Structure 1
């Protein structure tokens, strides 16, 4: 098993992918803030733990060859229509201030995920060290 196959690191990678895609969608919204009739979009929130147990897009890890092989995780994010609090007379529903708040929220979540990744890597390095060094 390589380090990239560890469930924690793959979950962090999935979270970072989601945040990257969300930032792209928010940037599209800001770029179209003056486009008549444009409706802002956003990504659905990632699956929660309860939904994962019911068979969501997260997969279980096989710890024994006797277990049933899990299906590989699928990272598909769909942007849904998500109008902001105001709609202008030309039908545009993007409020730049609200998009900037979403961008800041995504940035904080991205920083938290990167921090968790760095701490996990430090822990793995510590565990891999020979005793006494």
Structure 2
């Protein structure tokens, strides 16, 4: 018998993706003045498509409509953007990075709020509605 629904697992995977995205953005910001550095990005759409291709060939879930997404850091493809904004070859656009950082923060906060609600509901059930 499963104690937790699949929702908590999906929220956990979303938090893993958000953490990886945060690391990539932090690397980009840290290298804003590094000559020749090309910015990196994690694209969820690309990750999802790659995972769907892999799972379609080796589907071993309880239901054929389920996708087993593994968002461990080694499985996520971090893409380099091959363009430069400065004469030294640096490809970091700080405005874009700050916008990505804000977007990722909102996404992360929404996931945290949702998972907190799930655990709050479980806590209420455990205490018998009190």
Report the TM-score range of the alignment, normalised by the length of the smaller protein: 0.7 to 0.9
The 3-state SS of whatever aligns with 1:34 is coil
Q: Normalization by structure 1: what TM-score?
A: 0.73
Provide the residue aligned with 1:103 in structure 2: 101
Q: Tell me: CA distance 1:71–1:89, structure 2 relative to 1, closer, same or farther (3 Å).
A: closer
Instruction: Give the alignment of 1:21-36 within 5 angstroms.
Output: 21-36=20-35
Q: Please report how far the alpha carbon of residue 126 of structure 1 lies from its aligned counterpart in structure 2 after TM superposition.
A: 2.7
Instruction: Give the alignment of 1:1-133 within 5 angstroms.
Output: 1=1, 3=3, 6-45=5-44, 47=48, 55=55, 62=62, 73-75=69-71, 76-82=75-81, 87-130=85-128, 133=130
Q: Please report how far the alpha carbon of residue 129 of structure 1 lies from its aligned counterpart in structure 2 after TM superposition.
A: 3.9
Alignment root-mean-square deviation, CA: 3.3
Q: Normalization by structure 2: what TM-score?
A: 0.74
Q: Any stretches of 5+ residues in structure 1 without a counterpart?
A: none
Kindly indicate which of the two structures has a greater share of residues assigned to helix: 2
Q: Any stretches of 5+ residues in structure 2 without a counterpart?
A: none
User: Greater relative contact order: 1 or 2 (C-alpha under 8 angstroms, separation 6 or more)?
Assistant: 2
Larger radius of gyration: 1
Deviations 1:1-59 (A, max 9, x none): 464x53111111111011001110011001111111111001021538xx859947xx8
